[in-house]
């Protein structure tokens, strides 16, 4: 078998929930340092794809590599076997996820949200974790919010904290699942700016979003999913301007209407 060279490499991923096929043979190679935007209608499998990459969901079949390492399973003398909890925790370190609904720790301050993962999951000493967190808060314009609790922040600020928290884990890949879709329109811009800052640091990003302007500006590749499959993909200038499939054409008409 040829060795993967992409930072994230999905090969023939299938996933069903009961009778629902969420992913029906998804293959996708994401080069290191690139930004891939995934678009597609509700229920097309976008979240499930991200959750599989982050080991929150286990594919029924297919292989996932992050930085050349298998995720969710390990090779043994008996062939591929399911990874145990400890192994999954280790594999998960390569990726961090930013969710639609922030998922901050409500009883932690901004600063504590940023240092919890590095300290308790990665075992980084408090002083070092704090220094990294403070640098990130500065960078994301959140220094004055270091002692605020999530309930005291606007939606845009919460999502910027969630993005800084993902970076604090120093992952190779950051997965964004519709990071602006729960926000009031006037708060979307600041979050997109924060994501642009992440891209500028050369992180590999997989972004589920319907912010076509963001995709046009920053994506190296746009992937259109429908009914658990990648229907088409390509550079934003091509795929968003000149869709090849009727399904993508209709989808773009809807979201741009």
Residues that bind ligand ADP (CB under 6 A): 17, 20, 22, 40, 42-48
Nearer to ligand ADP, 45 or 72 (CB): 45
Nearest to 13 by CA among 49, 37, 39: 49
Residue 180 is a binding residue for Mg ion (CB under 5 A) = no
Q: Closest separation between CB of residue 46 and ligand ADP, Å? A: 3
Nearer to ligand ADP, 54 or 109 (CB): 54
Q: How far is CA 132 from CA 125, 176, 197, in A?
A: 11, 21, 16
Number of separate helices (H) and strands (E) present in the chain:
9, 12
Q: Closest separation between CB of residue 17 and ligand ADP, Å? A: 3
45 binding partner (options ligand ADP, Mg ion, none; Cβ < 5 to 8 Å by kind): ligand ADP
Number of alpha carbons in the 13 Å side-chain half-sphere of residue 82:
8
Nearer to ligand ADP, 17 or 120 (CB): 17
Q: How far is CA 191 from CA 8, 162, 203, 243, in A?
A: 24, 10, 16, 28
Residue 159 is a binding residue for Mg ion (CB under 5 A) = no
Q: Closest separation between CB of residue 42 and Mg ion, Å? A: 7
> What are 123's two structure tokens?
């075992």
Q: Closest separation between CB of residue 47 and ligand ADP, Å? A: 3
Q: Contact, 102 vs 158, CB < 8 A?
A: yes
Residue 48 is a binding residue for Mg ion (CB under 5 A) = no
**Closest residue to Mg ion using C-beta atoms:** 47
Nearer to ligand ADP, 17 or 105 (CB): 17
* Radius of gyration in angstroms for the set of CA atoms belonging to the chain, rounded to a whole number: 18
Residue 47 is a binding residue for Mg ion (CB under 5 A) = yes
Pairing of strands 20-30, 8-17: antiparallel
Q: Closest separation between CB of residue 43 and ligand ADP, Å? A: 4
Q: Any idea what DSSP says for residue 151?
A: G
- Write out the residues near Mg ion by the rule CB under 5 A: 46-47
């Amino acid at each position: 078998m040829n060795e993967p060279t992409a930072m994230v490499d999905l090969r023939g991923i299938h996933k069903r929930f009961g009778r629902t096929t969420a992913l029906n043979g998804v293959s996708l190679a994401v080069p290191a340092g690139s930004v891939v935007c995934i678009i597609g209608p509700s229920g097309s499998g976008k979240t499930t794809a991200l959750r599989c990459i982050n080991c929150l969901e286990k594919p029924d079949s297919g292989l996932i590599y992050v930085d050349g390492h298998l995720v969710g399973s390990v090779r043994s003398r008996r062939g591929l076997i399911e990874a145990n909890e400890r192994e999954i925790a280790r594999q998960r370190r390569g990726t961090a996820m930013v969710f639609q609904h922030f998922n901050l720790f409500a009883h932690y301050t901004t600063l504590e949200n940023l240092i919890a993962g590095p300290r308790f999951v990665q075992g980084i000493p408090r002083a070092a974790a704090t220094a990294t967190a403070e640098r990130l808060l500065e960078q994301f314009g959140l220094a004055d919010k270091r002692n605020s609790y999530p309930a005291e922040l606007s939606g845009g600020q919460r999502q910027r904290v969630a993005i800084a928290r993902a970076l604090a884990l120093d992952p190779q890949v950051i997965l964004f699942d519709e990071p602006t879709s729960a926000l009031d329109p006037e708060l979307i811009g600041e979050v997109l700016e924060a994501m642009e800052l992440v891209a500028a640091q050369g992180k590999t990003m997989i972004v589920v979003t319907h912010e076509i302007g963001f995709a046009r500006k920053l994506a190296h590749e746009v992937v259109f999913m429908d009914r658990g499959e990648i229907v088409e993909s390509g550079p934003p200038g091509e795929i968003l301007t000149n869709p090849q499939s009727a399904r993508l054409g209709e989808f773009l008409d809807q979201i741009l209407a």
